Amino acid sequence: MSSKRILMGNEAIAFGAMKAGVQIASGYPGTPSSEVMETIASHAKEYGIYAEWATNEKVALETAVGAAYSGANAIVTMKQVGLNVASDPLMSLSYIGVKGSLVILVSDDPGPHSSQTEQDTRAFGHFANIPVLDPSTPQEAYNMTLLAFRLSHEMETPVILRTTTRVSHGCADVVIGDIAPIPRDIEGFVKDTRWTIFPKLTAQRHPLLEDLQLRLSDCFSEYFEDNSFNSLSKGSSRIGIAASGVSYLYAMEAVRKLPGVFSVFKTATVYPFPEKAALDFLKGITDLIVVEELDPYMEEQFLQLAGKHHLNVNIYGKKNGCFPVSGEYDVDVVIDGINSSLERGNTDVPGLSHSPPAINLKEVPSLLIRAPTLCAGCMHRTVFYAFKKAAGKLRSQKGIDSVFSGDIGCYTLGNARPLNMVDTCLCMGAGISIAAGLSHTQEYSNNGKAKQIAFIGDSTFFHSGIAAVVSAVYNSADITIAVLDNRTTAMTGHQPHPGIGITAVGSPAKIIDIAEVLKSCGVGLVRTIEADGLDGCIDAATEAMQFEGPSAVVFRGKCVAISKGEGQYIVDEDKCTGCKLCISQLGCPAIFSISSGLPVIQDTCSGCGLCAQTCPSEAIVLKEVL
């Protein structure tokens, strides 16, 4: 039986995995991938699946690999940046292969909407010699998840299921099959030399790995015959369009007013590239327009193919400037790209037109910039402000400047004005290591005149912070670590982590205490303090910054997005002097100023009280008090 449901692409993938009989699931949250594991975890008990959030993507992949070595059907989930963390096991894994099945779900983020990079996982698959499937809709994501498990099992290779934001986070009506309870009859690990990678094994396996790429390329070419995931259509002109993923839909919508004019090559099996089918397609075409977000991956495949076979075909894409080389695509971007290609191609196909908006956009008044910022009542604001104050004291009393190294999470938003408390941000865990690196340079170049402070979140601490702490302590880095412990993985949707005491499926778990970890790593001064009192936070920050050698403060608070606010504050207009410190210093989105010059606190106030603690006139009071 099958049924139709509204599903987000990520949910469709989770249902596909469960339909395919996934037994073990591991992942680390990261937008736009997180809902895959969340959905599996929420059904885990019902279907008998083991599901977990791992501490990072490398650990998640290795856990899934262990399960697959035992013959299990396994999935691991992450975002594109997470694949970098997992790349160490991934590159070796492709040589070894798997038993059972292993699907690696990686979500790319063109734009990007919430990522540090716009990297393209299709290229990573190519680099690692691992097949990549690239669905264009939630329905296709569901269907291709089934295919990914099947391919992985048949070919004994991990398979990357790659999505982009608009597939991961798009909802659609999706037809899915019923899921039966999933059997746990896993064969078990069988000892064999094939599981231990050594240079000799690598040398033996590499030719087989290369051969697999050729076999898969042929296999993917055959998929065009039944139009299941790949399709070829012949148009009336000698102009072709090649596309994959969500770009295929943009291209089809862009040319819908010229039905049947273009020949279309659509592939959802992007790596290994289906060369035979692509070659068939290129014959009879004089001009090829390649529509793809992120890297010019397919464009390069077609260019190589045309060169290899001496085909006289013009290829338009990113490399000759017809399409943007970065940023997210949509129908309008693709219309411009196709038009630019058509102009250069000197063809008689007319250009495509945009739909004019109802309103002359030049007449729209210029608009405010509304950048993301820390939530009203967020504990991070108190901690950042406390460090700002403590650093100010250090500067005025001892002439020592402070550098604040940030990290990946909600608290990256501490870079926003007026806090300006993120001087560096590179990747997960890097706040601590970069602060350590900076501390070793100042010893020689700056004569100890700068203090290094690293901010890190609780989930990130477990992800890649601990190794950085160990290295910093062992190498005597003079840094202060501020752990912003809001008791959740807030940025990606509040997944639990080892500091919480609850697993992905809601079972109780042993809590790993961050302060105890810091102590056992040898950090000289470790304090734990509640983040709701500004003065206490300033004192703790000051003490830690004045400590010589590695020091740390764990600031414990709660995430306002999942905890109920306690009361609301209001401005007592009789006492308010209009100094606007509450606005100019804190950047709380619940406070704004009106034309009279007085601040107003909006309903979104969650009662953290930071503004009241900051106000020199005691003019900010709890609503009930006034």
Partner 1 sequence: MAPRLLATAAMDAGFHVATAETIGMAQREGSVTSHVRIGDDVYGSLIPQGTADLIIGLEPAEAARNLRYLRKGGSVVVNGHAIMPSTQGKGSEEYDPDRLIGFLNDNCPDIISADFTRLAKDAGTYKAANVAMIAAAAGAGLLPFSQEYLWDVLEKMIPEKYRDVNRRVFDRAIESVSDTKGKGMESRAFNDGRVR
Question: Binding residues for partner 1, per CB under 8 A?
Answer: 4, 6, 31-32, 113-114, 136-137, 166, 169-173, 246, 249-250, 252-253, 256, 330-332, 335, 354-359, 361, 363-375, 410, 412-413, 416-418, 491-493, 583-584, 586-592, 594, 600, 602-603
Considering beta carbons, is residue 256 or 308 the nearer one to partner 1? Answer: 256
Smallest Cα–Cα separation from 483: which of 451, 450, 516? 516
Closer residue to partner 1, CB minimum distance, 1 or 367: 367
CB 99 within 8 A of CB 71: yes
Helix axes 87-96, 199-222, angle to 10 degrees: 80
Q: How far is the CB of 212 from partner 1 (least distance, A)?
A: 33
In whole angstroms, how close is the CB of 8 to partner 1 at the nearest point?
Answer: 8
Angle between the N-to-C axes of helices 275-282 and 199-222, in degrees from 0 to 180, rounded to the nearest 10: 40
- Please give the Cα distance from 110 to 324 (Å, whole number): 12
Residue whose CB is less far from partner 1, 192 or 624 = 624
Retrieve residue 374's tokens. Answer: 């820390």
CA distance 464 to 429: 5
* Sheet of strand 401-405: strand arrangement: 401-405, 450-457, 479-485, 551-556, 525-530
The minimum distance between CB 85 and partner 1, in angstroms, equals: 18
Residue 262's closest CA among 355, 135, 350?
A: 350
Closer CB to partner 1, 336 or 543, in the complex: 336
**In the complex, minimum distance from the CB of residue 141 to partner 1, in angstroms, rounded to a whole number:** 12
CA distances in angstroms from 86 to 77, 93, 114, 295, 310, listed in the order given: 11, 11, 19, 21, 39
Q: How far is the CB of 115 from partner 1 (least distance, A)?
A: 8
Nearer to partner 1, 62 or 118 (CB): 118
Q: Which is nearer to partner 1, 162 or 451 (CB)?
A: 162
Pairing mode, strands 239-243 and 287-291: parallel
Distance separating alpha carbons of residues 217 and 498, to the nearest angstrom: 42
Helices 35-47, 9-19: inter-axial angle, 10-degree rounding: 30
Work out how close the CB of 335 gets to partner 1 at its nearest, in angstroms, rounded to a whole number: 8
Q: Which is nearer to partner 1, 349 or 559 (CB)?
A: 559
CB of 600 to partner 1, least distance (A): 6
Give Cα 348 distance to the centre of its chain.
43
How many residues does this entry show for the chain? 626
**At closest approach, how far in Å is the CB of 536 from partner 1?**
25
Q: How far is the CB of 315 from partner 1 (least distance, A)?
A: 24
Residue 166 or 205: the one with the smaller Cβ distance to partner 1 is 166
Of 1 and 364, which has the nearer Cβ to partner 1? 364
DSSP state of 157: S
